[in-house]
Structure 1
Amino acid sequence: MDPVMHSFDPPERFVAGTVGAPGQRTFFLQARAGRRIVSVALEKQQVAVLAQRVDELLDELMQQGGTSGIIPAVAPLDLADDGPLEQPIDEEFRVGTMTLSWDTAEERIVIEVYPLVDAGDESGEPAQEAAGEVLVVRLAAATARAFVARAQKVVGAGRPDCPFCGEPIDASGHLCVRANGFKRRG
């Protein structure tokens, strides 16, 4: 079976976003070109790591030089995107692994997102082969900085963390392991 490639070079929009209330949010990466929209679900930590790695790669490229284009140190204000995810949100797949690279010829960040692969069952049977689906997004440096800024906002918009144990605090508080099981409030 031929792999299904969702390619956006470049997308009109590429954002991280959520659906649901804090503590019960589902995180998505969403790419759009024209009327074509692809949404993939992932974990909060995956969004945070992707944003961090993109930011680090851009910082490294700035320090090294050697690019003909300008790599902004911060997200350009005219590229800020605080809008909601586009509807309908049809999950193509749940994210397993992601790769990040720099295309020197085109001077673009390349993000490849692969689906989560079934790890097999308890009988020791091998894992199911992935269907070969992949989301490939190629971003200019300024657009990548804008993606990072939004992703960091999305990740930070959840429940506040307990200053003692670092676990998220629900509206009703939480049982803090550092406080010997006493309930702390945010």
Structure 2
Amino acid sequence: MPRIIYRHQPATRFIVSAIGDPGERQFFIQVKSADGINSVTLEKSQVIALTQRFEDLIRELRRGKLVSPADLSAVADVDDLPMELPIDEDFQVGIISITWENDLVVVNIQAISQDDDLILDDLDSGPDLLVATLKINQVKGFCERAKTIVSAGRPACPFCGLPIDPLGHLCPRANGYRR
């Protein structure tokens, strides 16, 4: 089957959201532009890693003075609106790459595959690919929303760090007693 490449250049919306109860949530990234809308699923750990990489990128851009002070001090464009319906999963996220090009952040999100090859842009074969270009304030807004979404999950056990279900959990540090 030929590769599908979804392009959102520039993206007007780039958000993360979750559906379901804590412990059973499904995480989505939804991207919108004049060319349409796409929703992809990913793991909570991928949301956390993407947020950290975005924050690292902003820090490096500031340190290297690669962005104007006006862009760096721009208020985060936080999008608190829910995902747009219908929510149709285009693919499950495998590999994500982030680059800085022409004063924009370019995010390449590749579908999960058996090979997990590197992202090969503009080829006819390979896993599906979503390409989005973002402004710095959109990236800042994504990070703020992502932190809120991730922290809305189950709290961590203060003893072992594992998530605590509403009924508690069997804590390995408490010799299997319920906490």
**TM-score higher than 0.5:** yes
Q: Report the alpha carbon displacement of residue 131 of structure 1 after superposing the two structures with TM.
A: 4.5
Find the counterpart in structure 1 of residue 161 from structure 2: 166
String of CA shifts for 1:135-179, please: whole Å, max 9, x gaps: 111101111111111111111110100011111101100000010
Aligned-residue identity in percent: 40
Find the counterpart in structure 2 of residue 53 from structure 1: 53
Q: Report the alpha carbon displacement of residue 83 of structure 1 after superposing the two structures with TM.
A: 1.4
Find the counterpart in structure 2 of residue 178 from structure 1: 173
- In the alignment, is the contact (CA less than 8 A) between 1:112 and 1:136 conserved in 2? yes
Alignment partner of 1:154: what SS? helix
Q: Superposed, which structure 2 residues align to 1:102-181 within 5 Å?
A: 102-103=100-101, 106-118=102-114, 131-181=126-176
String of CA shifts for 1:5-64, please: whole Å, max 9, x gaps: 111111111100011111100000100124821000000000010011011101110111
State how far apart, in whole Å, the 2-side matches of 1:80 and 1:55 are: 15
Could you tell which deviates more after superposition, 80-89 or 162-171? 80-89
State how far apart, in whole Å, the 2-side matches of 1:71 and 1:58 are: 11
- In the alignment, is the contact (CA less than 8 A) between 2:112 and 2:127 conserved in 1? no
Find the counterpart in structure 2 of residue 76 from structure 1: 75
String of CA shifts for 1:60-85, please: whole Å, max 9, x gaps: 10111033463436x725x2211111
State how far apart, in whole Å, the 2-side matches of 1:97 and 1:71 are: 28
Find the counterpart in structure 1 of residue 37 from structure 2: 37
Q: Report the alpha carbon displacement of residue 108 of structure 1 after superposing the two structures with TM.
A: 0.7
Question: How does the TM-score come out when normalised to structure 1?
Answer: 0.85
- In the alignment, is the contact (CA less than 8 A) between 1:11 and 1:32 conserved in 2? yes
Q: Report the alpha carbon displacement of residue 96 of structure 1 after superposing the two structures with TM.
A: 0.7
Alpha carbons of structure 1 residues 42 and 66: separation in structure 2 relative to 1, 3 Å? closer
Name structure 2 gaps, 5 residues minimum.
116-124
Alignment partner of 2:144: what SS? helix
State how far apart, in whole Å, the 2-side matches of 1:81 and 1:131 are: 32
* Residue identity opposite 2:23 in structure 1: G
Alignment partner of 1:183: what SS? coil
Alignment partner of 1:110: what SS? strand
Q: How many aligned positions are there?
A: 170
Question: How does the TM-score come out when normalised to structure 2?
Answer: 0.88
Alignment partner of 1:89: what SS? coil
State how far apart, in whole Å, the 1-side matches of 2:63 and 2:33 are: 32
